[in-house]
């Protein structure tokens, strides 16, 4: 249904105003522009061999019709390419920028297999939809005939925003509650602006707002309302709260000042790019300029931290990771980018203690080696008796990953079922939790994952929410 409606939208030729946030750093735009000049789109698209089995599409979580929109791009039929790309994705220009393509579509391109380098699918995808925004081909969302039912969505990240769009199209009143002051979730405050410009996110949010989606920002469920209160207000609820509890390691000296959680550091930097006053950045606490920075961790968040520190003018940036390059969880492409920019990787190393008087000054590091594979088949790191060493550090950033918060406790809903990892236990097909009419999507179900998967979940869940609400019509509730 949603796809038919989207098809109906395209071709009307109405433009949608593009709003730019002030104070975005010019060099952020330059970097992205330099990385991929628009005229390369057709050239890259024409490299697609249109092979019989589109492995790229199979490995795209959204099942995007990649070879088809590449062909249209190669033929200069950009508007049709956009329409096709828009059919299966709610945020193609965002996925094109930040999907780890080397692990998804591009990593499975047959041209890559033949040793000639993958078609740069993500860059073409970004180019197509950026052009659509510039040319006014991106239509306003057309809300369906009002059904007299409302949905409350907790969390304005990609999962919640995607579902909101589809629910509005289906005619539901949609209210999104988010504890941050801006919508977008990790698109806004996690992922740095040099990878994803903030106006690109905000124009998607604005489009939803124009379509009548009501945003309740600075609204924390658990503090400003319980889950039960929201259930009483709405016909159905979608939980899309992501995972925010930073993993920690118990290391002597970890209480010293100058040691920060990755998300605090990245959020401060992102707030600056919006032009916000950020005292902890302005007084130098969360600013890496002139400092010896050590980032602990080997995932994509760690890569974002090291690359942000380089851009802030750090004196030196080291990334300490307990496994080797081949066994790190972060994208190899991001590692290569970071190395090119001057980041030094210290593989097979783990912090043993932080040292300093009040502020951190040194990191004592243990050498590690890879032992026998664990239950997951990955070789476990163990301490190498060969020795320890010391790194200078004025700033340490802990990027060890994220876990779910205690949602049943936070929401005042001890009956909400969660797994032993704290993620919400939702039906694999419908996305419904054990609470009637309460659904869940994105990282809070999968654990820390990817934007493209949150988008996929947000698109998939709407059909099941719709079915449930159609079968459970009750007196309309007053949505505040
Ligand atoms: C630093 C970093 C970089 C990343 N880079 C990439 C990348 O390059 N590519 C990629 O694909 N993925 C990346 N990811 C992962 C990606 O951002 C997430 O998988 C994705 O954002 C999950 O979407 P979501 O909608 O489930 O949750 P989120 O984006 O986390 O959004 C959840 C929202 O819920 C709100 N919320 C939480 N609790 C409450 C509450 N109690 N009341 C009200 N609101 C609440 C939060 O404020 C937030 O706005 C990155 C993650 C991090 C941390
Ligand atoms: S959504 Fe991600 S995986 Fe799918 S085509 Fe786009 S960049 Fe590739």
Task: Tell me the C-alpha to C-alpha distance, in Å, between residue 183 and each of 46, 153, 173, 193.
Answer: 37, 12, 18, 15
Q: Among 45-49, 137-141, 345-349, 406-410, where is mean pLDDT lowest?
A: 45-49
Q: What angle do CA 332, 338, 343 make, to 5 degrees?
A: 125
Q: Is the CB of 152 under 6 A from ligand 1?
A: no
- Interval 202-247: pLDDT, tens: 999 999 999 999 999 999 999 999 999 999 999 999 999 999 999 9
Mutate to test the pocket of ligand 2, among 64, 91, 451, 454 (most ligand atoms within 8 A of CB): 64
- Ligand 2: distance of its center to the CA of 267 in Å? 25
Q: Is the CB of 105 under 6 A from ligand 2?
A: yes
Average pLDDT over residues 24-38: 46
Q: Is the CB of 328 under 6 A from ligand 2?
A: no
Pairing of strands 395-398, 150-154: unpaired
- Ligand 2: distance of its center to the CA of 458 in Å? 16
Average pLDDT over residues 332-357: 94
- Ligand 1: distance of its center to the CA of 301 in Å? 12
Measure the CA–CA gap between 269 and 265, rounded to whole angstroms: 6
Pick the atom of ligand 1 nearest to 411's CA.
41
Per-residue pLDDT at 5: 33
- Ligand 2: distance of its center to the CA of 331 in Å? 15
Contact indicator for 360, 257 with CB cutoff of 8 Å: yes
- Residue found by looking up tokens 């930097």 in the block: 269
Contact indicator for 319, 333 with CB cutoff of 8 Å: no
Global pTM reads 0.90
Measure the CA–CA gap between 301 and 304, rounded to whole angstroms: 5
Q: Is the CB of 161 under 6 A from ligand 2?
A: no
Per-residue pLDDT at 114: 80
Task: Tell me the C-alpha to C-alpha distance, in Å, between residue 119 and each of 49, 123, 195.
Answer: 9, 9, 20
- Ligand 1: distance of its center to the CA of 147 in Å? 30
- Asked whether the predicted pLDDT for residue 94 surpasses 60, the reply is yes
Q: Among 40-49, 264-273, 357-366, where is mean pLDDT lowest?
A: 40-49
Q: Is 367 helix (H, G, I), strand (E, B) or coil?
A: strand
Alpha carbon distance, N-terminus to C-terminus of the chain: 29
Q: In terms of C-beta density within 10 A (0-12 exposed, 13-18 middle, 19 or more buried), how is residue 415 classed? A: exposed
Per-residue pLDDT at 205: 98
Average pLDDT over residues 408-435: 97
Per-residue pLDDT at 10: 27
Q: What angle do CA 403, 265, 189 make, to 5 degrees?
A: 70
Q: Is the CB of 122 under 6 A from ligand 2?
A: yes
Mutate to test the pocket of ligand 1, among 98, 154, 181, 190 (most ligand atoms within 8 A of CB): 190
Q: Is the CB of 241 under 6 A from ligand 1?
A: yes
Measure the CA–CA gap between 442 and 458, rounded to whole angstroms: 7
Q: Is the CB of 28 under 6 A from ligand 2?
A: no
Per-residue pLDDT at 2: 36
- Ligand 1: distance of its center to the CA of 212 in Å? 23
- Residue found by looking up tokens 């996305």 in the block: 431
Q: What angle do CA 112, 113, 114 make, to 5 degrees?
A: 90
Lookup: tokens for 49: 């061999």
- Asked whether the predicted pLDDT for residue 166 surpasses 50, the reply is yes
- Interval 188-203: pLDDT, tens: 999 999 999 999 999 9
Per-residue pLDDT at 342: 96
Per-residue pLDDT at 46: 84
Residues 6 or more apart in contact with residue 373 via CB below 8 angstroms: 379, 380
Percent of the chain whose pLDDT exceeds 70? 91
- Ligand 1: distance of its center to the CA of 462 in Å? 19
């Amino acid at each position: 249904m949603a796809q038919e409606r989207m098809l109906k939208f395209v071709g009307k030729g109405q433009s949608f105003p593009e709003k730019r946030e002030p104070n975005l750093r010019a060099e952020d735009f330059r970097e992205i522009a330099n990385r991929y000049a628009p005229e390369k789109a057709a050239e890259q698209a024409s490299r697609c061999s249109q092979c019989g089995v589109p492995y790229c599409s199979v490995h795209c979580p959204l099942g995007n019709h990649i070879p088809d929109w590449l062909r249209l791009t190669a033929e200069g039929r950009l508007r049709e390419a956009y329409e096709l790309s828009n059919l299966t994705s709610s945020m193609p220009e965002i996925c094109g920028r930040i999907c780890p393509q080397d692990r998804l579509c591009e990593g499975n391109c047959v041209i890559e297999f033949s040793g000639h380098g993958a078609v740069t699918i993500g860059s073409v995808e970004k180019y197509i939809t950026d052009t659509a925004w510039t040319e006014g081909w991106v239509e306003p969302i057309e809300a369906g005939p009002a059904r007299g039912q409302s949905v409350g969505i907790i969390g304005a990240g990609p999962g919640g925003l995607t579902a909101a769009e589809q629910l509005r199209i289906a005619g539901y009143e949609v209210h999104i509650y988010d504890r941050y002051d801006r919508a977008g979730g990790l698109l806004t405050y996690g992922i740095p602006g040099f990878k994803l410009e903030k106006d690109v996110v905000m124009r998607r949010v604005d489009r939803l707002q124009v379509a009548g989606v009501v945003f309740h920002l600075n609204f924390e469920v658990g503090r400003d309302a319980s889950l039960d209160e929201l259930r009483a207000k709405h016909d159905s609820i979608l939980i899309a709260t992501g995972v925010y509890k930073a993993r920690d390691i118990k290391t002597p000296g970890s209480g010293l000042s100058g040691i920060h959680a990755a998300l605090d550091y990245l959020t401060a930097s992102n707030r600056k790019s919006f032009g916000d006053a950020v005292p902890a950045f302005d007084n130098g606490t969360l600013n890496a300029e002139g400092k010896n920075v050590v980032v602990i961790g080997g995932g994509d968040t760690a890569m974002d931290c090291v690359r942000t520190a380089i851009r802030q003018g750090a004196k030196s940036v080291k990334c300490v990771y307990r496994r080797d390059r081949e066994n790190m969880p972060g994208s190899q492409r991001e590692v290569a980018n970071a190395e090119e920019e001057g980041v030094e990787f210290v593989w097979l190393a783990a912090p043993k203690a932080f040292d300093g008087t009040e502020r951190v000054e040194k990191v004592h590091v243990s050498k590690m080696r890879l032992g026998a594979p664990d239950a997951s088949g990955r070789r476990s790191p163990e301490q190498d008796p060969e020795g320890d060493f010391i790194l200078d550090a004025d700033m340490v950033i802990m990027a060890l990953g994220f876990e779910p918060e205690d949602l049943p406790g936070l929401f005042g809903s001890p009956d909400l079922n969660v797994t032993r990892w704290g993620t919400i236990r939702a039906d694999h097909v419908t996305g419904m939790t054990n609470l009637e009419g309460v659904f869940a999507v994105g990282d809070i179900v999968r654990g820390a994952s990817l934007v493209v998967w949150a988008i996929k979940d947000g698109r998939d869940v709407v059909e099941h929410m719709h079915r449930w609400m159609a079968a459970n019509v009750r007196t309309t509730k007053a949505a505040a």
